Structure 1
């Protein structure tokens, strides 16, 4: 901590126990206390938990007039009422304490205890320091647990260790179970499960709190097996577990997926050996959900006499993560009260399960409900916008954050950079990054990824250098993004260098993703044998991603033999991966192997492997529209298809010739029905080509709008040919025309399409 709270050399504690130093200070003021106890005013403080602040102040005023505050017992009773009520006024309690002329140890303990549980536990440690310096009393077995609790709340390792040292000097305190229990909890709160366990092992006769604290310490430290072993030892001993024990053990069972032990814990409750509580029921419910035992979760949920928002939300998440989204939505609709955590749970489940449209639909519902979005909500909504390319909504969320003074923490900053990058507005992503007051490794990595996906590999490498100059250590994600940037920009030597430095320079062992990136870098560059070497030298068996990267390189450079090997290995891992068949088919077609193309189609048909229908979306006036291949469900389908036919005729007039190796007419018609083209056409204005003559070259070049339409269709059509090979050799193309329709295409150095974003918005780039 910034300032030293406890003295460097605290006074030694008494070696013999003085009963006059006990927490209650009873013998010093026994006669006075008897007189004070008889006073009727003090009877008003008997049930201080029901007293409000005004009542306590009135009683305080009467005690002042009667002189009762001169007696330590009376003063301590008032202080307890101020400090330990359900809604304590600690400032008022401190003023009361400061006016007590000679507070006894019981009074000190009350004020330290109150601040240890208050909003600023540091004050409890300051009071403890004052007790050591200015009071004739020495802290006792009640004082230390309160002070140690304050240190635990602050995770103040230095102060807690000083308290531990003081305890160790006292023969009475160093064996006291209450003091040692607080130390077990303290070290667990500081993340040191080893010290926590060592203190536990020194307790002569551990009680249930001791066992619970030690089990919780191991669980929090990720030492789940040891936590369960300690529970088994406790269960075999003389100490009976209680509901607090079972909450910790149920949590560990959920994390480990140990359904058998989880059911055993549940049986304690069913037999009545453990007191049932809402907290324990929720812990068991969470355990069943994490163990994917929805039947047990449903049975427990249906039998719960009391449920809170945690119970409902846990059930909702269980259904959503098992793919039962209708059931999840039903639970959400049936909730008697929805807090923001409930909204966040379902929005996040939709977003993380590849249902971004449902996530944004629910986000729109939230805006009309009695709940206010928080940072978790906005992170999930921004991620959904990223998946859909919903730039206008993403901009609205950004504006909402600024209007409502949301502090841009690491999570929100990373999400904004990711959203703007994936929605095609790299300039705004760079502005968000530039305005970030603090940047962690995830913020830097997100910006590197944004530059990579837009084909700006050199800038990504420059940013990586700046990251190191800022003394931010890269992680595995950073290197994945850097290698992707090298791949998209064709930076082979730079990619080799980054990969070779991972372990010796940064201490990061390359993962399967990094090996796959190297295979992609080398494969795109035509270094196919070297790429194969990276795939086959992986520390773990190569996965589908690695073989897919090699297959892609073979498709680019027409290496049929190695492509067949890569495809075969890929299909061994994912037999129904239609993408592998498509890439190999394209490779055969580009090599003139039409017999192999026919044979491959036959194999796909016999194996019932079908290409998944493509789905594309476009945001128009803040509304996301989705299209499938050949979609005819859109309300403006007639306009869309007329627009596509018009574009196709103008492309022909402009001399556009697609790279096709199949039947021209059928293929040309099929290309027009791609979901991307349908989405783009739906966003074009009705008067796109007004005043132009498609047969006259000069008039086709008169307006920027015409060229946008032609180039838009050209890029999209060409991107479908020869494994997404495009003819335009540019890094990023951004076009604006009068209808505010924007196309952002990210292409790498060799012309491979990285991303296509088309959206409408109210201002030009």
Structure 2
């Protein structure tokens, strides 16, 4: 049956996005599928081709059941001595009653179901054999510690019998269909108990041989590895049971586990048999037994690695990655290329719509990939495709590329303008946002497209950030003239604009005149009051708020912190929780750095624990707050752990961890993280450079600091600011490189301030350079004549050099301007 490109598009959209997008224009262009005759019925006794293929695949690929024990799970096809990889060439596994699996015959690719059977009995022959293995553990321990020529033989025979019954009960359970839930539960317990007991016995009372005497740890190391692996696998399987069924594939029994069990049983049998004194070469079995035990331990450890590398486990990690939803979208383009079908503009616009719904954390390369396809296929003049590209670049934070697409559009609608205006507002390009709105206003005055409520909301946000009151008033007038105040979002943005700009009385009049108020309305007004110090008015409005929402509580908490009333925050937080509203990530990002949690490490850990329990630990704002709080609490390992566990590697996260490490003087680690950030394609900013330079300066890594400082202009094209120059001068001064420090100050493109001259004065005082010290002191005297510290440092420098008269002159200068040295004191 012929299939159109639009049909392919609809199928791809269902696979790529949670909400498939097909516009009315696209629906009108989708042709109706050509009618096709019904396929002829299959010949008698045969299946249709598709059904036959599925049946053949079911016969060819059988899913192994999950292992449950250390050695074998015979009632479930486990990895024991009795596990059977293939039950029969013409049988396959199907689910049965009570969670058990059964083998049913296959006829012509179809499953022939057996008639319903009676519920399984509690005690069957395989279950009795399993109970016997449990009962054999005390017997094994008793015979091991007995004296006599027959004791070693009895111990070996007991263990060997347990190994045989391990295979036998599984064989009987499968062949005679005698498996029971109780047996499936008890079998792995018996296996683990028998193997663990044997390993402990061999370690506590090893055979007196030259090999074990020279290396008493030879049995201990593999024993710990084997027992530790089983404990870990038990925990992993318990966790996998709480996940989806695909994760259970990662912990299912495989051939590696069967080989591990076989070598483990053989090794333990040899080691137990070597204790028999009647053997002519008693120690001859020790070496192969120990070797096989190490092979078993190696296979056990490698099986854990195999769990992590299993496709099901990798699939789970991919699904939890923040960019996982983007993979099907990019893969859809490759699917088109592989199938020889080129996407049309309808398909591409639909995929871009799904791309926009993936959220703001979009990699720019993904947007560029779709842009390349649009250019290659000649769709960049299509309105819907161009709008989707603008939104995609905006979500990726690439406002320049979004503007380039906008400028190339031959025709624009209100969505085009809104996408770029919103992109500018989110990126902090507020002046460009207002200029673009002016351009839109001119287009509207000429009879073209005009702004809507979305446009006005973004422009009001830019006006509030720039405190552009006059411009905002004109926008307000334009919105009123065009009847845009039917939308509550426009009311909220207008109230927020006037409140942030300090026009509180007019903002309150607009607020009271709103036909309908929501939580955002109250938050905007309360924020305005709090920002301008009217805490009581903000609290009064909060107390009588009709709407409910976490945003109102967050606005009050932020206001209290800004106005120095942190003591009231915890009480308000308890009141919020008591009213049934739980703190969200925004609340935590406010409370963690503001309330004095960092005074004690316990407070930070409690906040971190709450974030983990409520799934807020991956929020960028919470991550940054936690790293900063752990650093201030003196627990740098906490900051490292938060950084390691977060899946976000944006610039602000890198900046936070580098600043935390640098604050603790770990210059080598700060440089390492700085290089990792660059290798990850993240462009550092001035904050990162200041943190790295500070760490290098404080630890004496002047050469590394010089390389980083020079790379600012040469590699990244960033002009150093006063803070970076101050860091370099401090580093040179601490290292005694006073000449280099003075040359750097002389080469500065702007006048140095006290932050630059101060470290140089301290360096001159430390290394006794009186002439340089006096020159720097004169510069500081002109900048900050009332700084007592400068006088004291210079006077001490003269005194150390034996120039007592000059020192006295400096002290007289200090007294002449009304300054005096404040004596230190101790409270102990």
Which bracket does the TM-score occupy, shorter chain normalised? 0.5 to 0.7
Query: CA separation in 1, counterparts of 2:526 and 2:590?
Result: 17
Q: Is the 8 A contact 1:212 1:245 kept in 2?
A: yes
Aligned to 1:495: 705
Return the alpha-carbon distance in structure 2 between the equivalents of residues 359 and 257 of structure 1. Answer: 29
Cα distance, 1:383 vs structure 2: 1.8
Partner of 2:433: 224
SS of equivalent to 2:696: helix
Q: Is the 8 A contact 1:251 1:283 kept in 2?
A: yes
Give the one of 609, 612, 623 matched to 1:402: 612
* CA offsets 1:629-683 (integer angstroms, 9 cap, x no match): xxxxxxxxxxxxxxxxxxxxxxxxxxxxxxxx88xxxx46xx13xxxx5xxxxxx
**1:260 and 2:260 are equivalent in the alignment:** no
Any residues of structure 2 matched to 1:368-517 within 5 Å, and which?
368-384=578-594, 389-408=599-618, 410-433=620-643, 442-461=652-671, 464=674, 474-505=684-715, 507-517=717-727
Post-superposition Cα deviations, 1:532-564, rounded to whole Å, max 9, x if no partner, equal 443443334434533444455466567652453
Residue 233 (structure 1) aligned to one of 427, 430, 442: 442
Distance 1:511 1:330, change over 3 A: farther
Deviation at 1:181, TM superposition (A): 6.6
Aligned residues: 493
The corresponding residue for 2:791 is 584
- What is the CA deviation profile of residues 171-219 of structure 1, one whole-angstrom value per residue up to 9, with x for unaligned ones? xxx78x788777776776675433542464x23xx66566555655665
SS in 2 for 1:307: coil
Which residue is equivalent to 1:301? Answer: 511
For residues 28 and 433 of structure 2, what CA distance do their matches in structure 1 show?
Answer: 40
In structure 2, the CA distance between the partners of 1:336 and 1:586, relative to structure 1 (3 Å rule), is farther
Q: 1:515 to 1:328 in 2, by over 3 A?
A: farther
2: distance between equivalents of 1:463 and 1:181? Answer: 38
Deviations 1:209-248 (A, max 9, x none): 6655565566567432541331231242124544444334
Displacement of 1:5: 7.6
Distance 1:213 1:498, change over 3 A: closer
Matches within 5 A, 1:520-535: 520-535=730-745
Q: Which of 793, 814, 823 is matched with 1:600 structurally?
A: 814
Q: 1: CA distance between counterparts of 2:646 and 2:479?
A: 51
Kindly indicate whether the alpha-carbon contact (under 8 Å) linking 2:421 and 2:433 is maintained by their aligned counterparts in 1.
no
CA 300–481 in structure 1, closer or farther in 2 if over 3 Å, else same? same
CA change 1:507–1:566 in 2 (3 A) is: same
Matched, 1:568 2:791: no
**Structure 1 contact 224–256 (Cα < 8 Å) conserved:** no
Inter-partner Cα distance in structure 2 for 1:365 and 1:259 = 37
Shift of 1:483: 1.6
How much does 1:140 deviate?
Answer: 11
Cα 1:215–1:386 shift into 2, 3 Å: same
Larger Rg: 2
- Kept in 2, the 8 Å contact 1:289–1:314? The answer is yes
Match of 1:313 in 2: 523
Counterpart contact for 1:385–1:391, Cα < 8 Å: no
| Contact preservation (8 Å) 2:736, 2:767 | yes
SS where residue 357 of structure 2 aligns? helix
Unaligned runs of 5+ in 2: 1-6, 13-24, 35-323, 800-806
Unpaired runs of 5+ residues, structure 1, are 10-18, 29-118, 606-610, 612-660, 678-712, 714-765
Check whether the contact 1:317–1:346 (CA below 8 A) recurs between aligned residues. Answer: yes
Aligned residue number for residue 353 of structure 2:
149
**How big is the shift at 1:496?**
2.7
- 1:376-418 deviations in Å (ceiling 9; x for gaps): 3223322235796343311211222334444445544443332
Flag the 1:273–1:359 CA change in 2: closer, same or farther, 3 A.
Answer: same
Name the SS of the counterpart of 2:511 in structure 1: helix
**1:121/1:296 Cα in 2 relative to 1: closer, same or farther (>3 Å)?**
farther
What is the Cα deviation at residue 589 of structure 1? 6.3
CA shift in 2, pair 1:461/1:360, >3 Å: farther
Q: Give the corresponding residue for 2:493.
A: 283
Contact 2:774 2:794 in 1 (8 A): no
Q: Distance in 2 between matches of 1:485 and 1:405?
A: 34
Q: In structure 2, how many angstroms separate the alpha carbons of the residues matched to 1:467 and 1:25? A: 50
Give 1:449 deviation, angstroms: 3.5
1:435-459 alpha-carbon deviations (Å, 9 max, x no partner): 5566555555444444443344455
User: Cα distance 1:238–1:360, how it changes in 2: closer, same or farther (>3 A)?
Assistant: same
Matched, 1:341 2:556: no
Please list the CA deviations of residues 672-699 of structure 1 after superposition, one character each: whole Å capped at 9, or x if unmatched: 3xxxx5xxxxxxxxxxxxxxxxxxxxxx
1:489-522 Cα shifts (integer Å, max 9, x gaps): 2333333333234333555443322111112222
| Structure-1 separation of matches of 2:739 and 2:672 | 30
Distance in 2 of aligned mates of 1:431 and 1:241:
47
1:364–1:478 CA distance, 2 compared to 1 (3 A): farther
Q: Report the secondary structure of 1:335's partner residue.
A: coil
Is the 1:5–1:129 contact (alpha carbons within 8 Å) kept by the matching residues of 2? no
Q: CA RMSD in A?
A: 5.2
